[in-house]
Amino acid sequence: MAADGAERGLFIVFEGGEGAGKSTQVALLAQHLAATGTAVVLTREPGGTPTAEAVRTLLLAPATEPMSDWCEALLFAAARADHVAKVIAPAVATGQVVLCDRYVDSSLAYQGFARALPVEQVRTVSQWATGGLVPDLTVLLDVDPALGLARARDGNRMEAQALEFHQRVRAGLLALAAQEPDRYLVLAADRPVPQIADQVRTRVAALQSATPPARGATT
């Protein structure tokens, strides 16, 4: 139970490489939950608050000058700190289901595995930013970057990285999921949208019916 007596909600994150179909799936799940009477907050990273959206613009605009790797990692973490403090944590504490398009694993995969910053240091920074808030479930939509990039080019600064960079992102995300198989749902994203949506709903329904002490974690 949360401090005010409301039952704790759920925090569900969608991760994946470029063009994996996260935005579609997160929106479908939000519609489904709302239709079944669940209070849902749909949000994304980087972003989710006015300050974090301003940081997003800085991070994703085509580069006017190269940004140092730690500058990039710290800006993602700064945006996340505002987002968690003002949106995610309060909503979960008051019993809502928060669906977030990307979270800490994106930093570990893009800034850690792909940019080659030490993953454990990126993780530590993320823990400061989030106060240790860990998702109840992370849905990883896995797609071959060659396919994903072909179907999702919007030209942002991260997307413009070489294919090899995106292959490291993919390997990083799969490695993170393999470390905690119970907390991840890994789905091949090159399948029909309704089929994927169905698997996501089934898993979320199971989570919703789990007893509160069995879920929810901070580190």
Residues forming the site for ligand TYD (CB under 6 A): 18, 22-23, 45-46, 60, 76, 101-102, 106-107, 110-111, 154, 156, 158-159
Cβ 82 to ligand TYD shortest distance, Å: 13
Q: Which residue has the tokens 């994903």?
A: 148
Strands laid side by side in the 40-44 sheet: 40-44, 97-101, 10-16, 137-142, 184-188
- In whole angstroms, give the CA distance from residue 10 to residue 35: 17
Cβ distance to ligand TYD smaller for residue 109 or 197:
109
- In whole angstroms, give the CA distance from residue 153 to residue 160: 8
Q: Which pair of structure tokens corresponds to residue 56? A: 């997003």
Cβ distance to ligand TYD smaller for residue 18 or 144:
18
Single-letter amino acid, residue 188:
A
Cβ distance to ligand TYD smaller for residue 8 or 14:
14
- In whole angstroms, give the CA distance from residue 109 to residue 121: 12
The pair phi, psi for residue 58, each rounded to 5°, is -60, -40
Q: Which pair of structure tokens corresponds to residue 168? A: 């490291």
Cβ 1 to ligand TYD shortest distance, Å: 31
- In whole angstroms, give the CA distance from residue 160 to residue 44: 20
Cβ distance to ligand TYD smaller for residue 8 or 133:
133
Beta carbons within 8 Å of 76's beta carbon, 6+ residues apart: 45, 46, 55, 59, 106, 107, 111
Cβ distance to ligand TYD smaller for residue 11 or 110:
110
* Pairing of β 133-134 and β 217-218: antiparallel
Cβ distance to ligand TYD smaller for residue 96 or 130:
130
